[in-house]
Chains A and B, each alone.
Chain A
């Protein structure tokens, strides 16, 4: 029953071998005809004035199908997710309108003129900051991914989800976040020596609250006001959110209203009942903040069809790690029997999306496409079999195993689990 794909090395091309293949064309010389009406032969767009300027640009109407896919509880429409269409995107920046969403009770409408951030608890002097005041602080920009702790959670199930790559694995996005290093504001309030944790609370309809180690806020955390150069989108925390590079999405509190310094975590619902990883022995891992290395081939991927047989396809995808830089992405077309290094788009940044690519020559044979990321700590993205062997199948959170796309002999791609 099992089909044997060709070895990866025989399908991935040497770059130089192609160079001569498309040379040798020459253009016919056109003689000028009198009375030629260029309007008959030019595209219509070149023969008339275009549309007017716009105050805020929108994507081309021809790209109207490139959307987030929403999944929410009908009885509680503000509790759910929308997946980023990673299979339709390129580069490493997720456009603001397509950044994934996870809300616990909808997107709040917050007037920044009436919103303040309170820093209190184990500080020398509790301080309240208006949004206007915060805009005067020194800011830093950081490109990094935000990934939901429950990203890819359907992959724990015994049967794979059959939907486009982003709509199964798109609860992760990458943006340039700009804001104030949290340490400036915490130092202004004065940190008492007993302080070890910070309870962050949101001003949404869930008043979402989680406990964050103070050490992280003094390290690389940003109080973000801007996302890809513009003010945060409402669904991404307007007017203020935490960005904790590399840490699971739930800790990147949106619509931030309070940071209370404490000596102990508060044991909130979203750090006990949820966002903890159930292990086979029935215990759960708590405060598993760091997102492990992961990668995903975004194209070709589930639901696509390879148009040419034989044909050359630019295999591409994304890799990221919450522990630092991606150092290597390997690609396989034979279900992991053999691997070839993909090219990494530079610059490779710590805790950010790294785009990888590799030309692939398909000759009508059965194939199984996979990618495997390695980060600078030496951690290698596990196979699904390895992940389940170590974590069981009820972890729900932190699924970071290799993702597989099967290519049928007629060129269709399917999400599969390797057996």
Chain B
């Protein structure tokens, strides 16, 4: 008698342990995420710059400053005047995209100027990402954009003016998702 009662108990216990999670239609696990509201305001978690420019940092720079910086940090790969070297050309070729030899430069192809700030800060120069300060990055953006007259040579780029820049190929993209 005692033995059979025990078996019943065991089978009931097993039922509770293994069937309940299935009935809940959700795997059983312990939530282990740590509250992180404080992190979300920190600069190291706000690296992405969207077209609205909301996360752009303070600072400013112009094309003349940018030219000096470019010749110091960038020409080895991108060539004098940013026309390309072992790395891609950054300027020129506007209007080439529908031609026989399309060239996808920053100025001919990129739809948003904010992307330039975002990408230079996180990736350039590749040997030392994040080594350029915000003033220097604004200045490099100004130098590249002014090469093709997208901005005037004397424009100071900053968190307000950079998102206002209209790139020549702004409407050159069509989203295939969602279909």
Q: Which A residues are closer than 8 A to B by beta carbons?
A: 73-76, 78-79, 104-105, 118-121, 125-130, 133-134, 136-138, 184-185, 188-189, 199, 201, 205-207, 209, 213, 215, 258, 260, 262, 264, 266-269, 272-273, 276, 278, 280-289, 394
Contact = CB atoms under 8 A, between A and B. Distances in A.
28 contacts: A73-B86, A75-B77, A75-B87, A105-B126, A118-B36, A118-B39, A118-B40, A125-B37, A126-B37, A127-B35, A136-B30, A137-B32, A138-B29, A185-B33, A207-B129, A258-B45, A266-B50, A266-B51, A269-B115, A269-B118, A269-B123, A273-B115, A278-B104, A284-B109, A284-B173, A284-B174, A288-B177, A289-B176
A21 to B, nearest CB: 52
Task: Describe B's contact surface by its main secondary structure.
Answer: loop
Contacts of B86: 73-76
A286 B104 CA distance: 14
A127 B36 contact: yes
Nearest to B106: A273
B122 A282 contact: no
Given A188-B33, A209-B122, A286-B176, 10 more contacts: A74-B86, A78-B126, A120-B40, A125-B35, A125-B37, A138-B28, A264-B50, A267-B111, A282-B99, A283-B97
- Report, as a range, how many residues of chain B touch the other chain: 35 or more
Contact of B48 (A130, A184, A201, A215): A201
B43 to A, nearest CB: 13
A394 B103 CA distance: 10
Contact of A272 (B36, B87, B173): B173
Nearest to A215: B178
Contacts of A287: 175-177
Contacts of B114: 267
B110 to A, nearest CB: 5
Give 6 nearest A-B pairs by CB, closest first: A282-B98, A127-B33, A282-B97, A207-B122, A133-B32, A128-B36
Contacts of B102: 278, 282, 394
A78 B129 CA distance: 13
Nearest to B123: A206
A133 B36 CA distance: 15
B80 interface: no
A138 B27 contact: yes
